[in-house]
Amino acid sequence: MKDVAARAGVGLKTVSRVVNAEPGVTPDTERRVQEAIESLGFRRNDSARVLRKGRTASIGLVLEDLADPFYGPLSRAVEEVARAHGALLINGSSAEDPGREQELVLALCARRVDGLIVIPAGDDHRYLEPEIKAGVATVFVDRPAGRIEADAVLSDSFGGARSGAAHLIAHGHRRIAFIGDQPRIHTAAERLRGYRAAMADAGLAIDDSWVSLGSTAPERVRDAVAAMLAAPEPVTAILAGNNRVTVTVVRHLAACERPVALVGFDDIELADLLGITVIAQDAAALGRTAAERLFRRLDGVSEAPRQVTLDTALIPRGSGEIPPAG
C-alpha cells in the first residue's frame, strides 16, 4: 500500500480511501491510485485490516463430520447467511471427540472469528466462558451447550421420536425396538425419551432388550438388530435413532425374510424410492436459524440466551406402515 501511494504520488490514507471506496477523493486522484494498484498488482492484506479493526468478518462452524449428509446442507445454509453478511466460514470437524472440539473452538477463537456456531461433541463448555465474555458470539446447534448458558437451535428430538413410535404403535406394533447413538449425546437421549414416552402413553412396557444405544458403526448396529430379531419374542418394528443407524438397519432388513417395520430419524436421500418412513428434520433450517441468530447478536442485539426448537415431520413411505408379523 505504501508502494501504491509512492507510485501514485499520494498519501497512504488516500490509497486506503480508494481501496475501501470511502468518500472524499477526486475522481482524478482516484484514477491515478487505481492505475498504481493495477500495475503493482496490489491487494489489500486483510490480516492487517483485521488487526486494526478488530473484526475478522469470518465465523467458525464446528460440527461432527462434514462428510455426513446431515451436516453438508447445514453447513451450506450457514455459509449462505454468512455470505449475506459479508463473512467467510471456517469449519472444522470434531469427529465427535470433545477434546478435538475444544481444540478447534479455541483455535478459531485465537483467529478472532467474530462468531462461533458449534454442534457440540462434549458436554462441558465452561472452557468457552472467557471467550464469550470477551465478545465471541456463540450459538449451539443440534445439541445444547453443557454447563453454560448459551443460545441453542435444536430439532424437536423428543417430539419427533415420540410421534415416530406412536406411528408404529398406531399400526399395531407392541414390541418396538429403539436403536440409537451413544446416550451421552443429547439428541440420542432425547429420542430415547420420546420413544419411552410414546410407549408409556400407549401403556406398553419396554423390555430392556429392545433398547440398544452405542456407536453408530455398522457392525455394532447390525449385531444389535440381529440379536433383537433372534429373540424368542422378536420385535416387530424398529425406531432408528439417526441417519447412520437407519441406513444400516435398512441394509440388514433387506436381507431378512421376515417383514419388520421401520421408522428412521432423519431423512435420507433416495429414502422415497426405498419406501422408508422417516422423521425428517430440516438441516438447512437448523443452520440458517442458528446463523441468523448469530448475526443478530453480532449486530449488537443483546437478549438473554434462548433455546429455539424446530419441528420435525413424520413422512410415511411404507416401511413404517408394515403391520406386525406373526
Whether 266 and 70 have beta carbons less than 8 Å apart is answered as yes
* Contact region with a second copy (CB under 8 A), list: 103-111, 116-124, 154-162, 208-216: 103-111
Whether 210 and 235 have beta carbons less than 8 Å apart is answered as yes
Q: Most distant CA pair in the chain: distance in Å?
A: 90
Told to check if 72 binds a second copy by CB under 8 A, we report yes
* Contact region with DNA (CB under 7 A), list: 44-52, 101-109, 158-166, 244-252: 44-52
User: Closest approach of Cβ 135 to DNA, in Å?
Assistant: 11
Q: Write each residue from 20 to 39 as x if it is in contact with DNA (CB under 7 A), else as -, in one continuous string.
A: x--xxxx-xxx---------
**Sole binder of a second copy in the list 3, 22, 39, 51 (CB under 8 A):** 51
Residue 199 touches which of DNA, a second copy, none (Cβ within 5-8 Å per kind): none
Residue 55 touches which of a second copy, DNA, none (Cβ within 5-8 Å per kind): none
CA distances to 1, 60, 179, 276, 304 from 266, rounded to whole Å, are 52, 25, 14, 11, 30
Report residue 51 as a C-alpha cell: 488487526
Residue 109 touches which of DNA, a second copy, none (Cβ within 5-8 Å per kind): a second copy
**Sole binder of DNA in the list 6, 31, 39, 48 (CB under 7 A):** 48
Our CB check for a second copy shows the closer of 88 and 226 to be 88
**Sole binder of a second copy in the list 10, 33, 37, 93 (CB under 8 A):** 93
CA triple 254-259-262, angle to 5 deg: 75
Told to check if 13 binds DNA by CB under 7 A, we report yes
CA distances to 128, 133, 151, 303 from 103, rounded to whole Å, are 11, 18, 21, 28
Report residue 280 as a C-alpha cell: 425428517
Report residue 277 as a C-alpha cell: 418412513
Told to check if 168 binds a second copy by CB under 8 A, we report no
User: Closest approach of Cβ 265 to DNA, in Å?
Assistant: 44
How far is Cα 246 from Cα 265, in angstroms, rounded to an integer? Answer: 7
Report residue 186 as a C-alpha cell: 443429547
